[in-house]
């Protein structure tokens, strides 16, 4: 019943398509135009990828911190390491450059050398006054020498914040307004204002200005993603169309396939805009993915049309058979591919969920476009020329098929030994895989902003904030001397960790206050004793300037304090050890009954997100395997056939995982996608082969050897064609400047190549070796759906 319904359904579809050509083409044009109106809604991401669900404990902790202290990633830093900076002309110019940013509404505050002020004891009024280090422009080298002496030797409060006294590196801190950090205003300011002014300054004064900070990194990283979308689409179109042309030697067929995938890309952008999703590092991959996945559809459909025309010369009959015979097979393979992507929808990660939704909808869209556009366009075109059909007679194709058949027939033991050896080596490699939770590892490493990240890591020990928030559980509890001493001990522990920068907190300000009380003597830069505390704090309470400085470190109630440090780009394992060490110290210093302490910050959230995604990788991959196994069960109605079909598709995944271990490619958000994508695509070849194998069994009265070799000869060349297109198509991602995208492209390409060989050599070998147990009428029952109709011509 189902088979008859399927056959009848595709006959109706073919009739509707071929009889309503103009209406369907008009509908495709109208839908494309409607999708184009949604392009304006596409938003390029202005935030970091949130890898965790919104209700995850780590996110809730981070949001709790933001509610009390506001956005912590609003700092942009400019730095210069050049002895020639300390001249009258250049240092004044540097100060003017820093000062110029204060006029912009996007800027909250700017701190530079010129803005530095020292706390000065006012004995008459019993308070601290602020006195600037630089009252006006510098006029002589003597003033500069005096300034350096004061800054670098007498005031440790500012060390490793606005300067590094060891290397004489100077930097300016620009704090952007927190309400524009995650908007397009941030991008406009950084690209149009900051970069322009810095470039002008560099050219005029021959100084190399380094720029960094999370808002700057995020802006330029997002811009790199946008710039690469066009590169990927262009490269994917060029590579796949070139390979397509080599196979078919037909400009006409090549242009038709390019039209189909180009419209598919337009629909993909429309889907992203319609759903209101951001262009992230993952969704940016979908348009070129659609090209790579869409071209095999075109190969199957156009190849079938040309085959039919060559067979009987009737164009209308040929196009009808393209739809009725290849439509169902193409639908099945596209559904399995879409299923591989759709499993990401079931994860709790917004980033992966959006990727899964857009990718699966786009794959279904490219199938619909293929089955509509290709037959309709060919109704308007003349018959293919004889030279366009020559690819059916190429000598190398028959040679390739004969080689496969010979290997399966004569070298089956060799194939098994090779498979088992690869499996063993892969399992060893898998245990060497590491997990990476680095925020910047996948960023384009040949860009200037990445080199600047490394510069600030070297000079100031990192730019990724790690925050520790202390809740004293009572108002004004932060300024208690006992709390300050505990915080000081924790800061000393942080100072001993080479991957972290010098921490900044209210403790530094209290130490600075004591130094100011003792007339700026640097040896008194320490916490006051209990006797000193009362009269030093009385000075501080009378000082409005001190209150302003406190705002960044203590909340308005005095109950919450923050310790801010910056982390170098380190691996997940090191980050976990640092976190464990800090947590142990926190538990020791801050008893739970009196304090509540949390650790958070961008770096920590990203690292936790990566671990969460690794767990989701196994869930999504397991779901993909289960879903496709159920799909195969529905098609072939044989449990043993399901097991046999999964083996040649799981082996390439294990080989790829082993390669990752040997090559040092870590598990991270980008490489996590490899397995589900590759599995969803590679299983298409298995479905094609097994469908043809089952059909041959029936035609050859269940003669297994004859059926296997016939299926191999029939499907081998088309599987080779599509695998080559997919291999080179995914290889375009290796052109990326993003390390993760390069790894994704290379790994998926390698996996699909292994999958092709596995399906052409291992799968037929297993069928022949297990012939008695899987190839009989009782085991291999009548399929629910005939993927390839029984009356199909060879």
From CA 766, how far away is CA 716, in angstroms rounded?
A: 16
**Residue 585: count of CB within 10 angstroms of its CB:** 15
Name 500's bridge partners. 567
CA-closest candidate to residue 574, choices 639, 636, 666, 662? 666
Write down the pLDDT at residue 545: 47
Q: How far apart are CA 157 and CA 507, in angstroms?
A: 10
* 505 three-class SS: coil
Pairing of strands 107-111, 169-176: antiparallel
Query: Which pLDDT score is estimated for 791?
Result: 47
Please list, in sequence order, all residues whose beta carbon lies within 8 angstroms of the beta carbon of residue 657, skipping any fewer than 6 positions away: 426, 429, 430, 433, 675
Residue 540 CA, chain-centre distance (Å), reads 48
Angle between helices 639-663 and 602-636 (to 10 degrees): 150
Cα(187)–Cα(45) distance, rounded to whole angstroms?
Answer: 10
On the 0-12 / 13-18 / 19+ scale of CB atoms within 10 A, 480 is middle
Q: Are 554 and 561 in contact (CB under 8 A)?
A: yes
pLDDT for 270 equals 92
What 3-state class would DSSP assign to 220? helix
Q: How far is 119 from 371, CA to CA, in rounded Å?
A: 76
Q: Give pLDDT tens digits for 105-123.
A: 888 888 888 777 777 777 7
> What DSSP state is assigned to residue 190?
I
CA separation, residue 27 to residues 21, 34, 152, 157 (Å): 10, 10, 72, 69
For the chain, the maximum distance between any two Cα atoms, rounded to a whole number of angstroms, is 111
pLDDT score, position 4: 67
Beta bridge partners of 596: 471
The dihedrals phi and psi of 706, each to the nearest 5 degrees, come to -60, -40
HSE-CB at 459 with a 13 A cutoff on CA atoms is 26
What gap in Å lies between CA 578 and CA 499, rounded to an integer?
Answer: 9
Sheet containing strand 464-471, strands side by side: 560-567, 464-471, 596-600
The tokens of 777 are what? 């009428």
- Cα 629 from chain centroid (whole Å): 28
Please report the pLDDT score of residue 417 as a whole number: 92
Contacts of 641 (CB under 8 A, 6+ apart): 632, 690, 774, 779, 780
Which residue ranges in the chain fall short of pLDDT 70?
1-5, 44-51, 71-73, 384-397, 437-439, 537-551, 571-572, 628, 632, 634-638, 669-670, 771-794
Q: How many CB atoms lie within 10 A of CB 15?
A: 13
CATH fold group of domain 2-48+220-431+606-774:
Multidrug efflux transporter AcrB transmembrane fold (1.20.1640)
Q: Give the pLDDT score at 546.
A: 45
pLDDT score recorded for residue 794: 38
The pTM for the full model equals 0.76
| Residue 742 to residue 442: CA distance in whole angstroms | 9
What does the alpha-carbon distance between residue 158 and residue 508 come to, in Å, rounded to a whole number?
9
- Count Cβ atoms below 10 Å from residue 282 Cβ, excluding itself: 23
User: Which of 785, 631, 596, 765 has the alpha carbon at shortest distance from 694?
Assistant: 785
Helix (H, G, I), strand (E, B) or coil at 116: coil
């Amino acid at each position: 019943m189902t088979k008859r319904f399927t056959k009848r359904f595709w006959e109706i579809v073919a009739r509707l398509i071929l009889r309503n050509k103009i209406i369907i083409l008009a509908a495709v044009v109208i839908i494309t135009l409607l999708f184009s109106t949604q392009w304006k809604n596409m938003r390029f991401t202005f935030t970091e990828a949130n890898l965790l669900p919104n209700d995850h404990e780590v996110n809730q902790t981070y949001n709790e911190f933001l509610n009390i202290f506001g956005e912590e990633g609003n700092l942009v830093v400019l730095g210069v390491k050049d002895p020639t900076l300390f001249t009258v002309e250049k240092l004044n110019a540097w100060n003017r450059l820093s000062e110029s940013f204060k006029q912009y509404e996007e800027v909250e505050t700017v701190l530079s050398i010129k803005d530095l002020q020292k706390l000065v004891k006012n004995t008459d009024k019993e308070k601290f006054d602020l006195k600037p280090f630089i009252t006006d422009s510098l006029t002589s080298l003597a003033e500069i020498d005096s300034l350096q002496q004061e800054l670098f030797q007498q005031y440790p409060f500012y060390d490793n914040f606005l300067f590094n006294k060891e290397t004489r590196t100077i930097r300016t801190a620009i704090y952007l307004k927190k309400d524009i950090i995650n908007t397009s205003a941030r991008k406009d300011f950084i690209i149009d204002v900051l970069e322009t002014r810095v470039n002008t300054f560099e050219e005029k004064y021959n100084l190399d200005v380094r720029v960094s900070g999370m808002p700057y990194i995020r802006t330029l990283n997002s811009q790199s993603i946008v710039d690469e979308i066009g590169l990927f689409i262009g490269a994917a179109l060029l590579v796949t169309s070139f390979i397509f042309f080599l196979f078919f030697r037909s400009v006409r067929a090549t242009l038709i396939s390019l039209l189909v995938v180009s419209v598919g890309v337009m629909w993909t952008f429309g889907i992203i805009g319609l759903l209101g999703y951001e262009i992230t590092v993952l969704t940016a991959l979908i348009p070129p993915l659609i090209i790579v996945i869409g071209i095999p559809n075109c190969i199957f459909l156009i190849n079938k049309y040309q085959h039919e025309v060559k067979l009987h010369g009737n164009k209308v009959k040929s196009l009808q058979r393209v739809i009725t015979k290849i439509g169902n097979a193409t639908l099945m393979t596209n559904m399995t591919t879409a299923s591989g992507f759709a499993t990401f929808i079931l994860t709790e990660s917004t980033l992966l969920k959006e990727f899964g939704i857009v990718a699966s909808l786009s794959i279904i869209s490219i199938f619909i476009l293929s089955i509509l556009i290709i037959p309709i366009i060919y109704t308007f075109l003349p018959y293919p020329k004889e030279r366009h059909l020559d690819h059916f007679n190429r000598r190398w194709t028959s040679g390739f098929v004969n080689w496969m058949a010979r290997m399966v027939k004569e070298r089956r033991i060799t194939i098994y030994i090779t498979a088992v050896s690869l499996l063993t080596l892969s399992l060893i490699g898998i245990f060497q895989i590491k997990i990476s939770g680095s925020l910047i590892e996948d960023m384009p490493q040949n860009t200037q902003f990445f080199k600047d990240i490394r510069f600030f890591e070297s000079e100031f020990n990192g730019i990724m904030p790690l925050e520790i928030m202390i809740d004293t559980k009572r108002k004004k509890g932060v300024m208690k001397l006992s709390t300050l001493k505990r915080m000081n001990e924790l800061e000393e522990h942080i100072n001993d960790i080479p991957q972290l920068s010098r921490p900044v907190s209210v403790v530094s300000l209290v130490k600075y206050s004591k130094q100011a009380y003792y007339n700026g003597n640097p040896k008194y830069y320490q916490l006051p004793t209990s006797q000193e505390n009362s009269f030093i704090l009385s000075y501080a309470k009378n000082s409005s300037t001190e209150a302003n400085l406190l705002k960044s470190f203590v909340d308005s109630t005095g109950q919450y304090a923050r310790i801010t440090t910056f982390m170098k780009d380190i691996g997940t394992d090191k980050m976990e050890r640092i976190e464990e060490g800090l947590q142990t110290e926190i538990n020791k210093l801050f008893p739970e009954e009196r304090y509540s302490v949390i650790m958070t910050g961008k770096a920590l959230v990203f690292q936790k997100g990566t671990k969460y995604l690794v767990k989701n990788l196994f869930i999504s991959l397991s779901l993909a395997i289960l879903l496709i196994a159920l799909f195969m069960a529905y098609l072939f109605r044989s449990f043993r056939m399901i097991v046999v079909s999964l083996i040649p598709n799981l082996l390439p995944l294990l080989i790829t995982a082993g390669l990752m271990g040997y090559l040092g490619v870590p598990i991270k958000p980008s490489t996590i996608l490899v397995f589900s994508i590759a599995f969803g695509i590679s299983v298409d070849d298995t479905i094609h082969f097994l469908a043809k194998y089952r059909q041959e069994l029936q035609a050859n009265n269940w003669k297994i050897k004859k059926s296997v070799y016939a299926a191999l000869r029939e499907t081998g060349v088309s599987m080779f064609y599509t695998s080559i297109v997919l291999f080179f198509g995914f290889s375009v991602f290796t052109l990326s400047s993003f390390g993760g995208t390069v790894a994704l492209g290379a790994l998926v390409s390698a996996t699909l190549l292994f999958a092709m060989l596995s399906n052409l050599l291992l799968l037929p070998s297993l069928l022949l070796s297990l012939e008695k147990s899987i190839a009989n009428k009782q085991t291999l029952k009548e399929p629910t759906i005939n993927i390839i109709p029984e009356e199909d011509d060879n």
